[in-house]
Structure 1
Amino acid sequence: MDQETKRRFMERIEEKSAGLPWYVVEYIDKRKRMLSPASLLNYCHDYIIFFDWILAEGFYNGNRKDIPLHILEKLTRQQVEDFLSFLEFKLQNSDLTINRKLSALKSLFHYLQNIAETQELEPYLNRNVMAKIELNNVKEDQETIANRMEGKILRGDEYELFRQFVAHDYGEINKDNKKLFNFHQRNCERDTAIISLILGSGLRLSEIVGLDVDDIDFQKFTARVIRKGNKEQFVYFSEQAMIDLQEYIRIRSSRYELDKNFRPLFVAAPMGPKGTTRRLTARSVEKLVEKYAKAFGKPALSVHKLRHSFATRYQMENNDIPKLRRQLGHTSVQTTMIYTHLTNTELKDAVKKMDERKNDVDDE
C-alpha cells in the first residue's frame, strides 16, 4: 500500500474512531503497528455496529462515544448471543462475516482485560464476556470450498479468451453504442494490463491499485507489493502481463494527461473542472471487471475469482504448493491447499483421455 493510500485509510480510521468510546480509540491506536489500515478500518465498522446495538437495546442512554466500560463488564452471555442473532437475522451476515466481527470484539475485550491497565495497575475490565463466546463452526472443508468456486473461475482457453475480450472484442460488440465504444477505446490498454496482471500474478485487489510505476521491474518481471502485515515482497508476473503493461505504459502519460512526476500506475481519466487525474480506486477496478465479466458471459467472475483462476492454473502446471503460497502471499499453507482440490477435475479428465487413447490403440 503506497503512502497516499495509507494516508487516506488513516484519515477514515480517525473519522470513524472519533465516534467510538475512548478505550476503543486507545485500542485502535495500539494496533496500528500490527494491523494493516484496511483491517483497522474494518474493525472500526464492526465496533460501530456493536456499540450502536448497545444503544438500541437500551443498555445505555446517551451517545455512542460516551458508553462507559462498566456497560461492557455487565453484558451477559445471552445478551452477546442476542447480538450475534442480530447480525445473522437482521443484518443477514454469513457465518464467516459473523466470525470476523466476533473476532474483532474478542480482540478488543482481550486488550481491555489482559493488556490495558489503569494508573493503579488494575485492568480496564475484570470480567470478559467475549471469552465465553465461541466462533461459529463453519462446516466447509477445502474440497467444499473448491467445489463452490467451480464454474466461477476461468479455465483452459478462457484465460486468453477473456484477455482478448477485454483488449479487443468488447469494443467490437459495442460499436453501435458510441458511449461504450469510445470509453473502451480510451481505456482498453489500461484495462487489459490490469486483467493480464491479475491473471499473470494472482495479486490481490489492494495490491493492484496500490502499485506505483516504480514498483514494476521490467527486467526481472516482478512487482513490488506490500502484503498483509505490511510485509514487502517482490511478486513475479507472466510475460504476457509484461507485454500488456508495456503497451499501457506507452500510452499512459499522454492518454491520461499525466505530469511526469505522477507515480500511481493505474489511473482514472481526468475529472472535474480542473481535470484532475487520480489513482484508480479498488471499487473502480471491481466495476470494470464486473462489466467485462458480464459481457463475456461469466457474470460470477470478480477480481478475487481472477486471482483464483491464476492460482488454479499455476497449481495445475507446476504442482508446487510452497511456491504458490509465496506467490499469493498466504500466511497459512491450508489456504493454498484449496487449489489442489480445484485441479482434481483436470486430473480426472487427463486420466480419462489416457484411457481413451489406450482404447483407440487396442482397437487398432
Structure 2
Amino acid sequence: MDRSTKLHFMNRIDDKLSELPWYVTEYIDSRKRKLAHTTLLNYCHDYIIFFDWLVTEQSSAASRKDVGLNQLEILTVREVENFLSFLEYQLGNNKYTINRKLSALKSLFDYLQNKAETQDLKPYIQRNVMAKMEFNSVNETQETIANRIEGKILREDDFEHFRQFVAHDYGIQNKANARISRFHEINRERDTAIVSLILGSGLRLSEVAGINLEDLDVIKGQVRVLRKGNKEQYVYFSKQALWDLESYLKIRESRYGAEKSEHYLFMAAPIGRKGKSRRLTPRSIEKLIEKYAAAYGKPALTVHSLRHSFATRYHLENNDVPRLKNQLGHSSIQTTMIYTHLTDEEMRNAVNNMDKSKSE
C-alpha cells in the first residue's frame, strides 16, 4: 500500500474517530502499527454501531462521543446479549459478522482493562463485561461451507463468457441507453482488466485496489501485493490477465488523464471539468462487479466469489493445495481445503466419463 493510499485510509479513520469517545481514539492509535488500515476502519464502523445502540438504549449520553468509561463498566451481560440480538434481528447480521463485531469490542475492552493506564497507574475500567461474552458457535464443516459457496462462483466456460460480457456484451445489451453505453465504452478495458486479474490470480478486493504501476512485473506475470498482516508477496496472474492489463495500460494515461505522479494502477475517471483522476476505491470495484453480475444474470457474483472461482479452477486443474494456499495468501491450509470439496462434483463427473468411455 503506497503512501497516498495509507493517507486516504488514515483520513477516513480519523473522520470516524472524531465521532467516537476519546478512549476509542487512543485504542486505535495503539493498534496502527500492528493492524491493517482496512481492519482499523472496520473496527471504527463496528464501534459506531455499538455506541449508537448504547445511546439509544441507555439514554445517559447525548451522543456516542459522550459515552463515558463508567457506562462501559456497568454494562451487564444481559444488555450485551440484547445488543448481539439487535445485530442479528434488527440489522440482519449473520453469525460470522456478529462474531467479528464482538471480537472488535473484546479487543477494545481488553485494552481499557489490561493495557491502558491512568496517571496514577490504574486501569481505565475495573470490570470488563466483554470478557464474559462467548462467540457464536459456528460448526459448519468445510463441505458445508463449500456447498454454500457453490452457487456463487463461475465454472469452466463461464470464466471467458463473463470476461467477454464485461468487455463487449454489456455495451451491446445497453446500446439503447446512450449514457450507459458511453460509460461502458470509456471503462471497458479497465473493468475487463480487473475481472481478468481476479479470475486469473485470486487476489482479494483490497489487494486489487491497492496495486501501483511499479507493483506489476509483466515479464514474470507477477504483481506485488500487501496481504493480511501487512505481509508483502509477489503473486502470479494468468496470461489472459496479462493481455487485458496490457490493453488497459495502453489507454490508461490518455483515457483517465493520469499524471506521472499518479502511480495507482486502476483509476477512476475525473469528475467535472477541473476534476482530477483518482484511485479506484475498493467500494467502486465492488459496485462495478455487482453491476456486471446483475446484468449477466448472476447477481450473487461478487469480488470474493470471483476469488473463489479462481481457487476452485486452480485446484481442479492442478490439485496442489500448498501452492494454492500460498497463491491465495491463506494463513492456514485448513482454509484452502474448502476448495477440495468444491471440486467433488467435477471429480464425480470425471469418474463417470471414464466408465462411459469403457462401455463404448
The aligned counterpart of 1:34 is 34
* C-alpha contact (below 8 Å) 2:17/2:25 kept by paired residues: yes
Residue pairs, 1:4-19, within 5 angstroms: 4-19=4-19
The aligned counterpart of 2:189 is 189
Shift in Å, 1:213: 1.1
Residue pairs, 1:195-210, within 5 angstroms: 195-210=195-210
- The answer to whether the aligner puts 1:138 opposite 2:138 as a matched pair is yes
CA distance in 1, matches of 2:179, 2:288: 15
TM-score relative to the length of structure 2:
0.95
Counterpart amino acid of residue 171 in structure 2: G
Shift in Å, 1:128: 1.4
What is the number of equivalent residue pairs in this alignment?
360
Shift in Å, 1:180: 2.7
The aligned counterpart of 1:211 is 211
CA distance in 2, matches of 1:61, 1:292: 45
* C-alpha contact (below 8 Å) 1:59/1:71 kept by paired residues: no
CA distance in 2, matches of 1:292, 1:87: 30
Deviations 1:146-196 (A, max 9, x none): 111112111011111111222222233333333333222222211111111
The aligned counterpart of 1:297 is 297
CA distance in 2, matches of 1:171, 1:81: 50
The aligned counterpart of 1:248 is 248
CA distance in 2, matches of 1:91, 1:274: 40
Shift in Å, 1:257: 2.4
User: 170-179 or 229-238: which moved more?
Assistant: 170-179
| Distance change in 2, residues 1:119/1:302 (3 Å) | same
CA distance in 1, matches of 2:161, 2:245: 18
The aligned counterpart of 2:111 is 111
* C-alpha contact (below 8 Å) 2:174/2:180 kept by paired residues: yes
RMSD: 1.6
The aligned counterpart of 1:268 is 268
* C-alpha contact (below 8 Å) 2:52/2:63 kept by paired residues: no
| Distance change in 2, residues 1:49/1:170 (3 Å) | closer
Residue pairs, 1:318-357, within 5 angstroms: 318-357=318-357
| Distance change in 2, residues 1:59/1:170 (3 Å) | closer
TM-score relative to the length of structure 1:
0.94
SS of structure 1 residue aligned to 2:201: coil
User: 23-32 or 68-77: which moved more?
Assistant: 68-77
CA distance in 1, matches of 2:222, 2:277: 26
Extract unaligned runs of 5+ from structure 2: none
The aligned counterpart of 2:48 is 48
Counterpart amino acid of residue 116 in structure 1: A
Counterpart amino acid of residue 162 in structure 2: F
CA distance in 1, matches of 2:58, 2:328: 46
Shift in Å, 1:224: 0.9
SS of structure 2 residue aligned to 1:126: coil
Extract unaligned runs of 5+ from structure 1: none
Shift in Å, 1:281: 1.8
The aligned counterpart of 2:222 is 222
* C-alpha contact (below 8 Å) 2:174/2:181 kept by paired residues: yes
User: 28-37 or 279-288: which moved more?
Assistant: 279-288
CA distance in 1, matches of 2:299, 2:171: 18
CA distance in 2, matches of 1:79, 1:176: 55
Shift in Å, 1:117: 2.1
| Distance change in 2, residues 1:188/1:64 (3 Å) | closer
CA distance in 2, matches of 1:294, 1:58: 42
* C-alpha contact (below 8 Å) 1:99/1:136 kept by paired residues: yes
